[in-house]
Amino acid sequence: MKKYNVALCFLLMYCLNTSAQNKRIHQRVDSVLRFMTLKEKIGQLNQYSGRDVTGPSNPQQYNLRNEIKNGMVGSMLNVKGVKDTREIQGVALQSRLKIPLLFSLDVIHGYKTVFPVPLAEAASWDTAAIRLSAHTAAKEAAASGIHWTFAPMVDIARDARWGRVMEGAGEDTYLGSVIAKARVKGFQGERLGGTDAVMACAKHFAAYGAALAGRDYNAVDMSEQMLQEVYLPPFKAAADAGIATFMNSFNTLNGIPATGNRYLQRDILKGDWKYPGFVVSDWGSIGEMTTWGYADDLKDAARHAITAGSDMDMESQAYKKELESLVVSGKVNIKWIDDAVRRILYKKFELGLFDDPYRFCDATREAKVMADNSHQLIARSVAEKSIVLLKNENHILPLQQAPKSVALIGPLIKAKKDLAGSWTVYADTASITSVYMGLRKKFSSQTTFNYARGCGINDTSSAGFHEAIELATKSDIVIMALGEAGDMSGEAKSRSDIHLPGKQEELFNAIKATGKKVIVVLMAGRPMIFNDIADKAEGIIYAFWLGSEAGNAIANVISGDYNPSGKLPITFPRAMGQIPIFYNYSNTGRPVTATSGIVYKSAYIDLPNTPRYAFGYGLSYSSFTYSDLKISKAKLTQKESFNVTFTLTNNSAFAGEEVVQLYLQDKKASVVRPVKELKAFAKIMLKPGEHQGVTFTVKPDQLAFYKPTQGWITEPGSFKLMIGAASNDIKLSTDFELQDVVNQGLSSNK
Ligand code: BGC
C-alpha cells in the first residue's frame, strides 16, 4: 500500500509538472505571437525543400535565403548535416523575430545506418526492436541537425500493387497500431527536446493505403465504418503516444481531398481526438486540389486547406502567396492562422530551439554518433528478426554442416544498394553487406562459393542461364537471391503485376531442373507472387529489404546462428486477381467452407480463395505445440475483462521464438463482422523442450466495433476466441458469451 502511495505521488507530481510546463510554453508562444505581423505568421506556415527529391520544385523561382531572412519560412526539408543546418539556421536568426527554423527529413528506416524497410520490421512483431531501430535512426538524424522526421507511415495497406506498402506495417489495424506506438516512442524518446530524438509525423492522414486499384495518388472511397475501424486506429495510437505532428495525404476521401478535408482534420483529429500538434500538408498537396478539380485556383486551395486544418504548407507556396489577401478580404478567419502558428511555435519551444537554435548542430556529437559501431549491430539484430522463413522442406535449413560447394545465383546475390530499399537518400549504401559477402564470411574456410548472376532483375534475355546452370550442376547446393530492384517499391512505384520481375522465375525453373536442392532468398519491398518457387524450392526465405546488415543477417539464418521468428504482416496472394486480399475479410451469405462444391459460393472458379501465404504465417527451426486453453470466464458482463491462458511448448532441438496470436470473431452483430480479427500477440522465446504458460487479458473494448450512428459499441452475444500460429493456422479455440447489459444473465438478443 505504501509503495502504491509513493508511485501515485510521483505520478501526480509528474502530471503537475508537465501541465505547469505546458502552461509556461503556451505563455511563451503567446508572447511571440503578440509581436508577429500577419506576414510573419504566414511565414511560419511555409515549408520549403532544400533539394528537389520528391516532387516538382524550382528553387530558382524564389530567393530562399532572402525569404528566410524576412521571416517567410517556418521549416525546411531536405537540408541535413550540422554544417548546412547551422548555416541556414544562422540566416533565420537574422530575421526580425529570430524565430528558429525546423529542419525535417524523411528518416523512414534509418539515416546513415539503414534498417530494414518498415514492412520488414513489422514482420518481426517485435515492438522493442522496432522502437530501438527508430530511436537509433533518430539519434543519427538528430546529431546531423534534423529536428523532425516524416515517419512513421501508419497507413494500413491491403493492396500489394501499391508501392508504398513497403513504408508501413502491413494490413492489420491492431499490429499497425502497436507498431505505430513503438515507432513514435522510438523516434521521439520519452519526451521531446532530447538531442537524441526527433519529432515524429504520422502519415498520411488518412486512408491513403486504400488508393483505388493500388495506384499511387489515387482516390479513396470508403464507408465510415471501414475508416473508423481499419484505417484510423493506427493514427489514433500515434496521437495517444504523443506524436508531435501529422501529415495529410494526396488522396481524396469520399470525394474530398484529405488536405482540404475538414472532417478528417478539424472534426476527428483536432476535435474528437483533441490533438495538440500540427499538421503538415503532403508535398504540393494543397496546390494539387486544383488539379483534382476541387479548388478554383491556388487561392481557393489555400482557403480550403487552412480552414480544413492543414497548418503547414509543404512546397505548394499557396499559403505564402495567397493567405494574406484571404485574411485581409475576410475569406479566411485570422483565428485559423493564429491557431496554426501557435501549434508550430509550441513545437519549436518544446524542442528547445528558442533557448538554443543550434542545439542540434554540434559537429563533435555528429562525428561521434555517426562513428558509433553499435548501430550496425542493432541493424543486424533487427534485420534477423525481420526475416520470414516461408518454406523448409525436410529441414534443409539451417545448413548445419557446411556444404563443400555452393552455387550463388541470381541478380540480387551481389546487390547492395537494392537492399537499402526506398527512402534512403542519405544512407551509406556502399557499406551494405550483400548476401554474397555475408555468406562468404560465414562459411569461408569450409566451403567453395561459385557465382553466376543468371539474369538481371528485369531482363528479357536468358543469355546468362547457361553459365548459371553449369555452375549449379557442379555445386552441392544452390542459393539464389531474387526479387525487386530497390526502386520497384516505394512512392510512385505502384505495379500492375507483382510477379517476380523479368526472367527470374524462369531462371529458378532452369536451375531446379538440374535436380539440385535450391534455397531461394527473396528480397522486395512488397509481397510478390512466385508460385513455381513456392511449389518447387526446398527452402524459401523472405527477407524484404533488410538494409545495412542484410547479408550478415541472411547468412546467420542460413547457417542457423539465428533461428528465424518473423511472421508475415501482410497476405501474399496466389494471383493478381485475388487482390485486394487480406485475412480479416467479412463473412458472406455463401461462404466457401470446403475445397469442392464451390458452385454458387463466394468463390473463383479458376482459383482457390486462399492466399499463397497468410497473414501471421512464418516458420521457425523450432516446432511448437499449443495446449490447455482456458478462459477465466465464459460468460461476461459488458465491462468485464477476462484472462485467456494456454501452454506453449518447444518440442524441438532448437531454442526459438514463436509469435502467438489471439484472434476474435463476433459471431453475430447488427453490422456483419470479419471472420477474425487480431486482438493480441506475444513473442515467446523457449529453450528446447521448454514449455510456458501464456496469458492474455481480453478487455471489453477489444470486443467493440464502430457503428456510424452510435460510435464504438459492444453488442451482447456469442464470440469465438482463437489462438493461432498464423491467421490460417488456428491451434486452439473456444466460445464465450457477452451478456446483455440490462438483463445480465438472461438470454441475449443476438
Ligand atoms: C511523400 C511523403 C514525404 C514527402 C516529403 C511526399 O511525396 O508522400 O511521404 O514525406 O514527399 O519528402
Q: In degrees rounded to 5, what are phi and psi of residue 431?
A: -95, 15
CA distances from 585 to 24, 374, 571 (A): 49, 42, 12
Distance 396 CA to ligand 1 centre (A): 43
The share of the chain scoring above pLDDT 70, in percent, equals: 95
pLDDT band at 11 (very low <50, low <70, confident <90, very high): low
Task: Please give the Cα distance from 75 to 726 (Å, whole number).
Answer: 44
Question: Between the CA of residue 457 and those of 424, 480, 486, 551, 696, what are the distances in Å?
Answer: 20, 12, 10, 18, 45
Q: Is the peptide bond before 206 cis (omega within 30 degrees of 0)?
A: yes
Nearest CA to ligand 1 atom 4: 283
For ligand 1, pick from 47, 217, 282, 424 the residue to mutate: most ligand atoms within 8 Å of CB.
282
**pLDDT given at position 63:** 81
Q: % helix / strand / coil in the chain, to the nearest 5? A: 35, 20, 45
CA–centroid distance, residue 54 to ligand 1 (Å): 6
* Nearest atom (ligand 1) to Cα of 153: 9
> Measured between alpha carbons, how far is residue 498 from residues 87, 388, 456, 488, 615 in Å?
45, 19, 17, 10, 17
Handedness of CA 322, 327, 329, 332 (dihedral sign): positive
> Is 282 among the catalytic positions?
yes
Candidate of 246, 312, 491 to mutate for ligand 1, largest count of ligand atoms within 8 Å of Cβ: 491
What share of the chain in percent tops pLDDT 90? 90
Per-residue pLDDT, averaged over 583-590, amounts to 96
- With a Cβ cut-off of 6 Å, ligand 1 is lined by 54-55, 77, 106, 150, 203, 282-283, 491
Radius of gyration for the chain, computed over Cα atoms and rounded to the nearest angstrom: 27
Provide the pLDDT for residue 9: 58
Phi first, then psi, for residue 25 (nearest 5°) are: -65, -45
pLDDT at 741: 63
DSSP 3-state assignment of 589?
A: coil
- Chain center to CA of 555: 25
Q: How confident is the model over 707-714, as a mean pLDDT?
A: 94
pLDDT range class, residue 368, cuts 50, 70, 90:
very high
Residue 55 alpha carbon, nearest atom of ligand 1: 7
Q: How confident is the model at residue 5 (pLDDT cuts 50, 70, 90)?
A: low
pLDDT for 687 equals: 98
**In angstroms, rounded to a whole number, what is the distance separating the alpha carbons of residues 141 and 369?**
9
With H, G, I as helix, E, B as strand and everything else as coil, classify residue 517.
coil
For position 52, what pLDDT does the model report? Answer: 45
Give the nearest ligand 1 atom to 167 CA.
9
Reported as a pLDDT band with limits 50, 70 and 90, residue 639 is confident
The pLDDT of 165-190, averaged and rounded, is 97
To test the pocket of ligand 1, the residue of 51, 54, 104, 216 to mutate (highest count of ligand atoms within 8 Å of its CB) is 54
State the average pLDDT over residues 110-132.
98
pLDDT value at 82 more than 70: yes
Q: What is the pLDDT of residue 56?
A: 46
Does the pLDDT at position 353 exceed 90?
yes
How much is the pTM? 0.96
Q: Which residues of 712-735 are buried (b: 16+ CB within 10 A; e: fewer)?
A: eebbbbebbbbbbbbbbebbbeee
Is the model's pLDDT at 379 over the cut of 70?
yes
Whole-number pLDDT of residue 444: 75
Q: For residue 14, what pLDDT is reported?
A: 58
- The Cα 598–Cα 608 span in angstroms is 10
Q: Over 60: is that where the pLDDT of 62 sits?
A: no
Between 625 and 2, the higher pLDDT residue? 625
Is it the case that residue 582 has pLDDT exceeding 70? yes
Phi, psi for residue 20 in degrees, rounded to 5:
-65, -40
pLDDT tens per residue across span 471-520 = 999 999 999 999 999 999 999 999 999 999 999 999 999 999 999 999 99
| Residue of 224, 123, 135 lying closest to 176 (CA atoms) | 123
User: What's the CA gap between 661 and 209, in Å, rounded?
Assistant: 24
**Residues making up the chain, counted from first to last:** 750
Q: Is the pLDDT of residue 59 over 90?
A: no
Contact 264, 205 (CB under 8 A): yes
Top pLDDT among 53 and 396 is at 396
Average pLDDT over residues 583-596: 93
Residue with the nearest Cα to atom 10 of ligand 1?
Answer: 150
**What pLDDT, in 10s, does the model give residues 223-245?**
999 999 999 999 999 999 999 99
> Quick check: 203 pLDDT over 50?
yes
Could you tell me if 347 and 244 are in contact, meaning their C-beta atoms sit under 8 angstroms apart?
yes
Task: Taking residues 250-254, report their average pLDDT.
Answer: 98
**Nearest protein CA to atom 12 of ligand 1, as residue:** 54
Q: Which of 155, 172, 282, 459 is catalytic?
A: 282
Q: Please provide the average confidence, as pLDDT, over all residues in the chain.
A: 94
Q: Give the residue whose CA is nearest to atom 8 of ligand 1.
A: 282
Judged against a pLDDT cut of 60, whether residue 15 lies above it is answered with no
What's the 282 CA to ligand 1 centre distance in angstroms?
6
Write down the H helix ranges in 34-81.
38-44, 64-69
Residues 634-661 have a mean pLDDT of 96
Average pLDDT over residues 436-442: 96
**Of 689, 555, 531, 548, the residue nearest 623 (C-alpha):** 689
Q: CA–CA separation, 303 vs 49, rounded Å?
A: 22
**Residue of the nearest CA to atom 5 in ligand 1?**
283
Q: Ligand 1 centroid to 236 CA: how many Å?
A: 21
Residue 55 C-alpha to ligand 1 middle, in angstroms?
8
The residue-averaged pLDDT of 195-199 equals 97
How far apart are the CA of 542 and the centre of ligand 1, in A?
A: 27
Each residue's pLDDT tens digit, 295-339: 999 999 999 999 999 999 999 999 999 999 999 999 999 999 999
Confidence of residue 12 (pLDDT cuts 50, 70, 90): low
The least confident of 52-61, 435-444, 587-596, 734-743 is 52-61
What is the Å distance from ligand 1's center to 381 Cα? 28
pLDDT at 750: 38
